[in-house]
Structure 1
Amino acid sequence: MAIIRWVLGRIILLLNFIFSPSGTKRSLEEQQKLDEQTQGFTLYQFEACPFCVKVRRAIKRNSLKIELRDAKNNPEHRQQLLEGGGAIKVPCLRIEKQGEVTWMYESNDIIQYLEQDIVGA
């Protein structure tokens, strides 16, 4: 089963590379505003997880600057996810705004939040 999962993960990464979305072009001022809004955002993810790939594609498509943390291979990031979010489940978006931290799971919820509340704001 592990071999099948590994092969499927590599196929997902290859297809993501081949069909990578283009980023949104904005004025410098608009992009700087978005960069400021996402400054405290961190995505905890696994590289070949299909749901994480989906979120990363949305981040790229919307030209958002969000720090990516590997919660599979980095024990420190894995522990931060467990302590902060409460579970080792990815993707998980850590949102820090005005000193308050929120952890958001579920790829569709994360994408909807980024596209409606951040980009669409």
Structure 2
Amino acid sequence: MAVIRWILGRIILLLNFIFSPRGVKRTPEAQQVINERTQQLALYQFDACPFCVKVRRAMKRNSLNIELRDAKTEPHRQTLQDGGGRVKVPCLRIEKEGEVTWMYESNDIIQYLEQEIAQA
């Protein structure tokens, strides 16, 4: 089963590479505003997870520069476990006014990014 999962993961990554979306073109000033909004965000993810790929594609489509953290490696795995309560990806860490929120579910993350962050 692990071999099949590994092969499918590589196929997902290859297709994502081939059919990568184009980002939104903004003025440098507008992009700077978006970059400031994304400074307090981090996406905990696995490279070949299809739901993580879905979120990363939405990030690229909206030209969002969000830090990616591999939840398979320490200390990110432990941080996700301690902060979010479970090791489940994708998970968006949102820090706003000193308060940290952990958002799971790819559709919820994409909706948040498109409505709250990408609108300059």
TM-score of the two chains, using structure 1 as the length reference: 0.97
Give, in angstroms, the shift of residue 49 of structure 1.
0.2
Counterpart in 2 of 1:97?
96
How many residues align structurally? 120
Distance in 1, matches of 2:38 and 2:15, equals 27
RMSD in angstroms over aligned alpha carbons? 0.8
* Structure 1 residue 113: Cα displacement: 0.3
Alignment of 1:17-56 (within 5 A): 17-56=17-56
Give percent identity, aligned residues only.
76
Question: Could you tell me how far 1:118 is from its partner in structure 2?
Answer: 1.4
Gaps of 5+ in 1: none
Deviations, residues 26-66 of structure 1 (Å, cap 9, x unaligned)? 01111000110110100000000000000000011100010
Structure 2 portions without partners, runs of 5+: none
The 3-state SS of whatever aligns with 1:88 is: coil
Q: Which runs of 4+ in 1 moved over 4 A?
A: none
